[in-house]
A and B are shown apart, each in its own frame.
Chain A
Amino acid sequence: MTYMETNSNLTAASDSARGRDDPFIELADIRRAARKSAEESPMRLLIVEDDRDAADYLRKAFREAGHVVDVASDGEEGLVLAREGGYDVLIVDRMLPRRDGLSVIADLRGRGDKTPALILSALGQVDDRVTGLRAGGDDYLPKPYAFTELLARVEALARRGGPQAADTVYRVADLELDRLAHSCTRGGQEIVLQPREFRLLEYLMRHAGQVVTRTMLLENVWDYHFDPQTNVIDVHVSRLRAKIDKGFDPPLLHTVRGAGYIIRDGAR
C-alpha cells in the first residue's frame, strides 16, 4: 500500500491548520544538502530491473541524488554483479527474466552476503511481502512507488553516518535518547514520552539526517503495512514535536513537504 501525499482534503485542511508553527522544509533543500554529502562518500547501488525505462529513470534519479549506480537487466547478470560485492544496497525487481529476484537474494544470503536488499514488486499484498522478506529481503516496496519513498528507504537501509545498532544513546544537537534507561532529555531537561512516542522518536533518531516517510514510520513503529487512509501519522508526529521542540531552539523535527519527516540539527 503506497502512501499518498495530500490526496484527501482532510489532510490538506489539517496540514494548513497546524502548519503555522510547524517547521516545513522543502524536499529540494534536503536533496541539495544530501547531494553535497553524497558527493563526499556516494552510495554504491545495484539496480536489477528488466524494464529499461524504469531502470533508466532510477539510474538518473539516484545519480541526481549523488549516488553511484550499476544496472543489471536480468537476474543472472544481477547475481554476477552482486557477487562481486562492494554495493551498499541492492534494489531488486521481483519478476526478472532468467532468474527471479527472490532467488538472486536467496543465493546471496546463502553465501553469507548480507548486503541490504530492497525488493520492488508489482505484487503488493500481505503474503507477497511476507515471502519477499522471508527470502532474505530487508525491505519491500510495491509498485508503483514514489521515488522519494524509494530513496528514503534505500538511504535508511544503507545506514550511513547514523548511530550504530549497538549505540545505547542517540544524540541530535541537545536532544538525547537513552534506549536502555528509556529516557529522553533535551538541553538536560527531562521529557516524558509515551511508549509509542518513544519508539517513534527512536526510529527518527536512528535515521537522523535522513528523510523518513510516513509509510516507513507506520511499518517500523506500528508494524502495520496497510493504508491508514488519513493523516494518522502526522497527528502522532505533531504530538511528539510538541514535546521535544516546543520551547526549545532550534527546532529539530521537520516536516519535509511531499516526502515525510526528518530529524536533524538545523544549525549544521
Chain B
Amino acid sequence: MTQWSGYFGLILQGALVTIELTLMGSVLALIMAFLAGLGRLSRFFAIRALATAYIEFFRGTSIFVQLFWAYFVLPFIGISLTPLQAGVLALGLNVGAYAAEVVRGAIQSIGREQYEACIAVNLGRWQAMRHVILPQALLVMLPTFGNNAIELLKATAVVSLISLTDLTFQAQVVRSQTGNTMVPFTTILIIYFALALIISWGVRSLERRMARGLDGVRV
C-alpha cells in the first residue's frame, strides 16, 4: 500500500503554485488587457499600432513557445527570470492579448448616445471613459473575463515544462515515484475542475453585484 498522504501533500503544494500562478498571471493579463484594449481605441496611430502588434503577436504564437522564449532565450540578452517570473510573464501577456480584444469590444458595444450625453454635459474624454463608459463596459467584459481566467488556469500546466512545481509537475513526480498513473492524474483533473468552478462562481456573483439596479427590478 502506497503512502498516499505524503503524495497528496505534494499535490496540494502543486495546487498552491498553480493558484499563485493563476492569480499573478490574471493580474498581469488584466493590466495588459486594459492597456492594449484602450490602446486600440487611441486617437494616436503609434499607440494603436503598438497595441495591435502586441495583440496579434501574442495571439498568433504558441504559449509553449512564448514560455520557452521567456525562460530560455531572454537570458541570452541578459534577462534571467525565475521559472515563476517567466510563467507569470508568458501567461499574463498571452491571455492579456485575448482579453484586450474583450475590453475593446465591450467599450465599443456602449451606444453612441452615452458618448453624446457625456459631450452634452461637457465631460472630457477621459472623464467620460472613466465614469460613464468603462463602468458599463465592465459588465459586458465580465463573463468573457471569466472564460479568460479559466483559460489561464488551464494554461498554467505548461509551466511544468520549465520545472515549476505546479499541479501537473507534482502529478508527474507522484506518478514516477509510485508507478501509479490513474490516481495522481485523476486527482489533479478534479482539482483543476474545482478551481475552474470557483472562478466561474466568483465571476458570476461579481456580475450579479454589478448588474444590480440596471434591470429596474431591485432598488
Our verdict on whether A and B bind, yes or no, reads: no
Q: Give residues in A with beta carbon < 8 Å to B.
A: none
Seen from chain B, the residues whose Cβ lies within 8 Å of a Cβ on chain A are none
